[in-house]
Amino acid sequence: MASPVVVTHCGAGSTLEIVDAAETAGRAALSALDGGGRALDAVTNAIVVLEDDERTNAGTGSRLRIDGRAQMDASIMTEDLESGAVAAIEGVRNPILVARKVMETPHVLLVGADAVAFARRMGFQSHNPVTAAAKVRWKESLDRIRRGDLPPHARKWRDFRDLAGTVGAVARDSRGHFCAGSSTGGTAFMMPGRVGDTPIVGAGIYCGSAGAVSVTGHGEEIIRRVLSKSVYDLMARGRRTQAACDEGLRLFKKTIPIGIIAVGKDGAGEACNRKMAWWTNAP
């Protein structure tokens, strides 16, 4: 029997003021593992808690696109390579629950209006995830675009420092099975239809028999480096989980916000080049 391990985070750049959200999510995950529960249910529970917390950039409270809409991405993956994801989904409360339903279909990823239609067919009610705080941040972003008040390196909307990222969770259950999940409202200054790393297997999450990895930060840069799979491959080749996370972080310039959480056979790992609210039960 393996000891259950959970790691959760509220996004690269999230302030430590919301570490209670990471802990509440982590404890919800652990309660699912009590009595031999599955890592899949643990990660699902954790991400539902984080999506429902309006202070995080996922589910209710998601960042808005430049046209004022909330389009959300989420994904989940287990060690037998089963995975489900949604991208640019709108009008649902918990994208991670829709992603989990996608897992039960022959497909891996559903996008946009068709992902919404699938959610409705599966019984997910209409929900407006746009909060007053998200509208304030959106107006600030539009003002900065109008003024051209962007850091030089953000001319292509890259490396933007005001990123408050994705939420994520990884878990190992008492049978030694793993699961990784992630959910996001995206980043600052997004065009409608933009999809980041979060719903892309290998980029935002990866899971296999060696462990589970979930990452946060600038999606385009993460996709280019296939970050979650890169960290996973190090673990599969025998690197300790913490060392694999540290090595993954070194793939990026420090100007690019990146956070990584992982759980492997030897325990938990976490690495971030910004402040990040995160939690684990591991020693």
Residue 215 structure tokens: 């990452």
Q: Which listed residue (8, 60, 166, 241) is catalytic?
A: 166
In the complex, the smallest distance separating the C-beta of residue 185 from ligand GLY, rounded to whole angstroms, is: 8
Q: Which is nearer to ligand GLY, 30 or 227 (CB)?
A: 227
According to DSSP, the residues that pair with 184 across neighbouring strands are 73
Q: CB of residue 164 vs ligand GLY: minimum separation in angstroms?
A: 10
Which residue, 218 or 239, has its beta carbon nearer to ligand GLY? 218
What is the sign, positive or negative, of the torsion defined by CA atoms of 276, 277, 281, 283?
Answer: positive
CB of 33 to ligand GLY, least distance (A): 26
Site of interaction with ligand GLY (CB under 6 A)? 165-166, 184, 186-187, 196-198, 216-219
Closer residue to ligand GLY, CB minimum distance, 45 or 187: 187
Cα–Cα dist 227/237, whole Å? 16
> Can you tell me which residue has the tokens 């919404």?
116
Nearer to ligand GLY among residue 27 and residue 158 (C-beta): 158
Long-range contacts of 202-205 (CB under 8 A, 24+ apart): 202/226, 202/228, 202/229, 203/227, 203/228, 203/229, 204/73, 204/75, 204/166, 204/168, 204/228, 205/75, 205/76, 205/77, 205/83, 205/168, 205/180, 205/181
Q: Is 241 a catalytic residue?
A: no
Q: How far is the CB of 216 from ligand GLY (least distance, A)?
A: 5
Taking each helix axis from N to C terminus, what angle separates 112-121 and 95-102, rounded to the nearest 10 degrees? Answer: 80
Q: What are the residue numbers of the active site?
A: 166
